[in-house]
Amino acid sequence: MKVLVCIKQVPDMESRFKANSSGNWYDEADLAFRMNEYDEYAVEQAVQLREQLGDAADVTVISIGPDRVQEALKKALAMGCDRGVHVQDPVSSLKDPWQIASIIATFAKDKGFDLIFAGMQSQDRGSAQVGVTVAEQLGYSCATTLVGFACSDGVITAKRELEGGLKGVVKLKTPALVTCQLGLNVPRYPTLPNIMKAKKKEILSIPVADILKEEALATTTSVHPPARKGGGIVLEGDLNDMAAQLIGILKEKTAVLR
Amino acid sequence: MKALLICEYREGKLLDASYELAAFADKLGAEKAMVLIGSEAEVPKVNGTVYLADAGKYGEYNPDVHKKIVLAAVERENPDYIVFVHSSYGWDLAPRVAATLKAAQISEIVNIVDGKFEVGICNSKLRRNVTPTTGKAVLTIQAGAFSVTDASQGVPQLERIDLADGASSLEFVGYEPAEKKDVDLTRAEVIVSAGRGVGKKENVPVIASLAKALGGELGASRPVVDAGWVEHSHQVGTTGQTVSPKLYVACGISGAIQHLAGMKKSDFIVAINKDKDAPIGEVADVLVVADVLQFVPALTGMLQK
Ligand SMILES: Cc1cc2nc3c(=O)[nH]c(=O)nc-3n(C[C@H](O)[C@H](O)[C@H](O)COP(=O)(O)OP(=O)(O)OC[C@H]3O[C@@H](n4cnc5c(N)ncnc54)[C@H](O)[C@@H]3O)c2cc1C
Ligand SMILES: Cc1cc2nc3c(=O)[nH]c(=O)nc-3n(C[C@H](O)[C@H](O)[C@H](O)COP(=O)(O)OP(=O)(O)OC[C@H]3O[C@@H](n4cnc5c(N)ncnc54)[C@H](O)[C@@H]3O)c2cc1C
């Protein structure tokens, strides 16, 4: 079984963000980047499938972006993927989801992947589009928002998460693409020996111009901080002072303390 | 300008979120038509055309077939915008429709500003205005962002859609109900919730002690539940419980939209976060900028005196 996993590198969400000087994205300076959280579940599920099937499975991991995304690829390899593909694009950020999906679909076409894993959304942009769009472009069957996954004899049983704790169970046949939701599994931490082993694994580099044929369908006209509602009280400083102040406020404003 | 609105329907019922689509179209100033894959008894009460396909025949979740139904309505109505709710139904179906039409898709719109669509990025720490460059565009709107003001009392005009080809690559097996709850957070007057910022499972009792000191229940954000630190029945948010206690205390919770959706109607909100810019600050009446593991024990100690 040939498996592809799509991963994106995103900034740590605890960072301070500000718009860049052209006002069309965020300023990348001083940001620490990591693998998109949803994609960690995708990698883990692919690696678990590889463990289930042994050498009958082969897992490729792909990421589009500037050179820094190799760090995310290396992590995926250390978690157990077999090979990496880096589509080199210093300005992947300026692509819309349609283009990112087209790049992945163009790469995957004719390679006979039976199963493709993606995250349900990215943490920074969160369109929740790329996975489904790749499936549409390839004509693959597709299920989104998985919190349960099982695969046997080319049939996937997927548990989709709906709202309020409800779930929906579906079956689909390969070739298929699934998108992974938080909590699908417990992503492993790469161990030191596996990090060392991963260094020997291949990362193929492809310049984006070789495989991108599509124009963007949407443009960003501005990036800006949200309008502040204000109103809230902000407490800073000494712990005991803040605790006393907070108790005072709760006594005054709520009926829960007397 | 015309908007085709795709209703949500589950377990035999029209979901209220469908009316948010109408509120969005009104705010946009668009003429409305709707698509319901459901039953005649549940047709939304709005003026205008409602394209009805029978869920008994085509299934409640069957994206291959639902895509064809929506495309058939697009063909008849020729809308500028095809609008879904950003939900497990909408984000699953919208990209399929967009890809087939090769139309731009703009996801999880929170506002319309001067005719442009505004979406959140980086956990809502920034906003982005986006414009489609294609003639038709597919949109998904954030659940709860466009509130319904008056109960709709329109009279829909029904048009039926029937497909010759109902083939699907996917088989819907069935629903699995939510796990049984060991606490009913919706009845609690005070909820103190632990987020990923508490660091590890061993620290959860620190938060639980504060809940006890305030006479309330322990709540949690999703990562805390996914990691197995706290039971799912304590989860607050779109995929957990929706609560509105007299006091909600968020400890080490960033304020992602899916969490806010479950607690923003609380009467009074206190957030404890080391990041002054955390989006939870937007809904908090009081934001305490501190390390939870230092501040919470200090507060609990003072309350117990
Ligand atoms: C620094 C930076 C600047 C940006 N600037 C702009 C801008 O100016 N204008 C603009 O419109 N957008 C901009 N973006 C957004 C970026 O191009 C989008 O992230 C991209 O279009 C994919 O959409 P998404 O993140 O919403 O994907 P989603 O649809 O939410 O992602 C779902 C899944 O798709 C897969 N995936 C997504 N991206 C990749 C990738 N690169 N490689 C491999 N798999 C992937 C992953 O499995 C992911 O979990 C910027 C992003 C960054 C990081
Ligand atoms: C379809 C879908 C459904 C979802 N449903 C839900 C849901 O029902 N409920 C839910 O909660 N989430 C849900 N999520 C996940 C949601 O998007 C966020 O990922 C999640 O809410 C983040 O949880 P958090 O705030 O605890 O963690 P993080 O976002 O990681 O935030 C941790 C916060 O703690 C702060 N912090 C860190 N250390 C400290 C410290 N020592 N002292 C003080 N502060 C500290 C940080 O500054 C940060 O703000 C859903 C996501 C999706 C896609």
**CATH number of the domain that residue A72 is part of:** 3.40.50.620
Q: Is B212 in the pocket of ligand 2 (CB under 6 A)?
A: no
Has residue B211 got a pLDDT over 70? yes
- Containing structural domain, residue A146: 2-211
Q: Which residue has tokens 């909590």?
A: A183
B148 plus B201 within the same structural domain: no
* Spatial separation of the C-alpha atoms in residues A221 and B165, rounded to whole Å: 41
* Spatial separation of the C-alpha atoms in residues B286 and B277, rounded to whole Å: 13
Q: Is A95 in the pocket of ligand 1 (CB under 6 A)?
A: yes
What is the mean predicted confidence (pLDDT) over B2-14?
97
CB-CB under 8 Å, A249 with B175: no
- Do the domain assignments include residue A130? yes
Q: What is the pLDDT of residue B175?
A: 96
- Do the domain assignments include residue B234? yes
Q: What is the pLDDT of residue B123?
A: 81
* Spatial separation of the C-alpha atoms in residues B292 and B305, rounded to whole Å: 20
B90 plus B190 within the same structural domain: no
- Do the domain assignments include residue B263? yes
Q: Which amino acid is at B23?
A: A
The CATH number for B237's domain is: 3.40.50.1220
Has residue B182 got a pLDDT over 90? no
Contacts of B262 (CB under 8 A, 6+ apart): B236, B237, B238, B240, B241, B242, B243
- The answer to whether the CB of B123 falls within 8 A of the CB of A123 is yes
Has residue B282 got a pLDDT over 80? yes
The residue ranges of DSSP E strands in chain A, in sequence order, are 2-6, 9-11, 33-35, 58-65, 83-88, 115-119, 141-152, 155-161, 167-173, 176-180, 203-207, 218-224, 233-235
CA of B31 to the centre of ligand 2 (A): 38
Has residue B179 got a pLDDT over 80? no
Q: Per residue in A109-126, pLDDT tens?
A: 999 999 999 999 999 989
Range of A208-217, A231-240, B122-131, B216-225 with top mean pLDDT: B216-225
Per-residue tokens: B123: 């956990």
Q: Which residue has tokens 């309350």?
A: B303
Has residue A49 got a pLDDT over 70? yes
Q: How far is CA B120 from CA A127, B124, B129, B141, in A?
A: 10, 5, 9, 11
Q: Domain total for chain B?
A: 2
Taken as a whole, chain A contains a residue count of 258
B192 plus B290 within the same structural domain: yes
B6 plus B64 within the same structural domain: yes
- Do the domain assignments include residue B117? yes
- Do the domain assignments include residue B228? yes
Q: What is the pLDDT of residue A233?
A: 94
B137 plus B73 within the same structural domain: yes
Q: Which residue has tokens 């205390």?
A: B249
Q: Cα-flanking dihedrals φ and ψ of residue A168, to 5°?
A: -125, 130
- Do the domain assignments include residue A54? yes
B194 plus B139 within the same structural domain: no
- Do the domain assignments include residue A221? no
Has residue A28 got a pLDDT over 90? no
Nearest residue in chain B measured CA to CA from A235: B288
Q: Is the omega angle on the peptide bond into residue A175 within 30 degrees of 0, that is, cis? A: yes
Nearest residue in chain B measured CA to CA from A239: B295
- Do the domain assignments include residue A233? no
CA of A88 to the centre of ligand 1 (A): 14
CB-CB under 8 Å, A132 with B99: yes
Q: Which of B125, B160, B195 is the last residue of a domain?
A: B160
- Do the domain assignments include residue A254? no
Question: Longest Cα pair distance anywhere in chain B, in angstroms?
Answer: 73
Has residue B114 got a pLDDT over 90? no
Mean pLDDT of chain B: 94
B201 plus B148 within the same structural domain: no
- The answer to whether the CB of A181 falls within 8 A of the CB of A161 is yes
Q: Report which bound ligand comes closest to the CA of B90.
A: 2
Closest CA to B286 of A17, A238, A248: A248
DSSP A184: S
| Rounded CA Rg of chain A | 22
Q: How far is CA A170 from CA A149, A186, B169, B250, B259, in A?
A: 10, 22, 10, 35, 27
B143 plus B265 within the same structural domain: no
B81 plus B153 within the same structural domain: yes
- Containing structural domain, residue B231: 185-304
B120 plus B210 within the same structural domain: no
Q: Which of B160, B175, B206 is the last residue of a domain?
A: B160
pLDDT-based confidence at A219, cuts 50/70/90? confident
DSSP assignment string, B125-175: TEEEEEEE-SSSEEEEE-TTTS---S-----EEEEE---S----SEEEEEE
- Do the domain assignments include residue B8? yes
B102 plus B147 within the same structural domain: yes
CB-CB under 8 Å, B303 with A145: no
Q: Which of A111-125, B88-102, B146-160 has the lowest mean pLDDT?
A: B146-160
Is the pLDDT higher at B181 or at B63? B63
* Spatial separation of the C-alpha atoms in residues B257 and B48, rounded to whole Å: 32
* Spatial separation of the C-alpha atoms in residues A85 and A203, rounded to whole Å: 5
Q: How far is CA A113 from CA A4, A60, A64, A105, in A?
A: 7, 9, 18, 11
Q: Per residue in A60-93, pLDDT tens?
A: 999 999 999 999 999 999 999 999 999 999 876 6
- Do the domain assignments include residue A247? no
Q: Which amino acid is at A94?
A: L
- Do the domain assignments include residue B202? yes
* Spatial separation of the C-alpha atoms in residues B11 and B175, rounded to whole Å: 9
Q: Which residue among B87, B277, B302 places its CB closest to the CB of A243? A: B302
* Contact status of A221 with chain B (Cβ, < 8 Å): yes
CA of B256 to the centre of ligand 2 (A): 6
Q: Which amino acid is at B190?
A: V
Has residue A165 got a pLDDT over 90? no
Taken as a whole, chain B contains a residue count of 305
Q: Is A60 in the pocket of ligand 1 (CB under 6 A)?
A: no
Has residue B151 got a pLDDT over 70? no
- Do the domain assignments include residue A256? no
- Do the domain assignments include residue B19? yes
In degrees, rounded to 5, the angle at the alpha carbon of residue A143 between the alpha carbons of residues A176 and A123 is 110
* Spatial separation of the C-alpha atoms in residues A64 and A103, rounded to whole Å: 8
B299 plus B219 within the same structural domain: yes
- Do the domain assignments include residue B221? yes
The CATH number for B34's domain is: 3.40.50.620
What is the mean predicted confidence (pLDDT) over B139-151?
86
Q: What is the pLDDT of residue A93?
A: 64
Q: Which of A17-31, A244-258, B68-82 has the lowest mean pLDDT?
A: A17-31
Q: Domain total for chain A?
A: 1
